[in-house]
Amino acid sequence: MPKKKEEAEEILPKKEEKESQVKEHKEPVKATLSKERVLTESSDNAREFYNQSRYGSLLEDGRVQLSLIEALYLLEKKKLIAYDSRNKAIDFESFLKKAQKIEPNFWVRYCVYRDIRNRGYIIKTALKFGADFRIYDRGVKPGEDHARWVVFPVHEGSVLTWYEFAAKNRVAHSTKKRLLIGILDAENDVTYYEIKWIRP
C-alpha cells in the first residue's frame, strides 16, 4: 500500500540545518561538458566532490567524471563552473537545454535527484538494477554498505501501466531494496510513495 505524503517525510526526512555551521568559501571547480559526461579539473576541490559526497567517479588522472545530473546540481549550487568544448562558460539554463536534448525525461529526473540530495542523501544511478537511481542512508557511502532504496522518477501527468508498476516492484524486490516512486508535480515539488510486497 502506498504511503501518503505526510508519511513520506519519515521515509526520506529532510536534512536538519545547523545554523552554527559556517562553511568556508571554496572556489568553484572548473569542468568541461563532453557529450553525455562532465570532466572536472584535477584539483583537491574536485576530488572532494567524490571523497566527501560521492559525486561522480574518480579517474586515475585525479579528475572526476560527473553525470549530467550531478554536474547540473553542482552548477546550481555554485560549486561548479561548466565550460563547453570551445572553453565558453555554460550557465544553468544553457546546460539544462543541452541535457534535455540528450535525455528527454531529464528535468523530472533532475528534480527528484535534487530533492534527495537536498535532504542529505547520497544518490547514484542504478542502471544495473533496472532503476533510475539508488539511495543510500545518511552517513553511508557507496561501497561501505548497500543502497536502501531504488527510485523511479515520474511526472504526475504520466501514465504507468500495472505491468510497468509490477516490473518496477519486482526490480526492487529482487535487489533487496525498497521501491520509491518520486512523483514530480506542476510546481516542481516531489512526493514519494514507498511500495512494498505484501503476502496475503
CB 18 within 8 A of CB 32: no
CB 60 within 8 A of CB 7: no
DSSP β-ladder status, 80-83 and 29-34: parallel
Q: Which residues pair with 64 in a beta bridge?
A: 58
Give catalytic status of residue 136 as yes or no: yes
Pick the catalytic residue from 14, 26, 77, 146: 146
Question: Rounded to 5 degrees, what are φ and ψ at 192?
Answer: -110, 140
Q: How far is CA 18 from CA 21, 25, 62, 148, 155, in A?
A: 6, 17, 32, 25, 32
Whole-number Å distance between alpha carbons of 71 and 30 = 11
Question: In sequence order, what are the residues at sequence separation of 6 or more whose Cβ sits closer than 8 angstroms to the Cβ of residue 106?
Answer: 68, 69, 96, 99, 100
Pick the catalytic residue from 73, 110, 113, 177: 177
Pick the catalytic residue from 55, 113, 136, 192: 136
Catalytic residues: 136, 146, 177
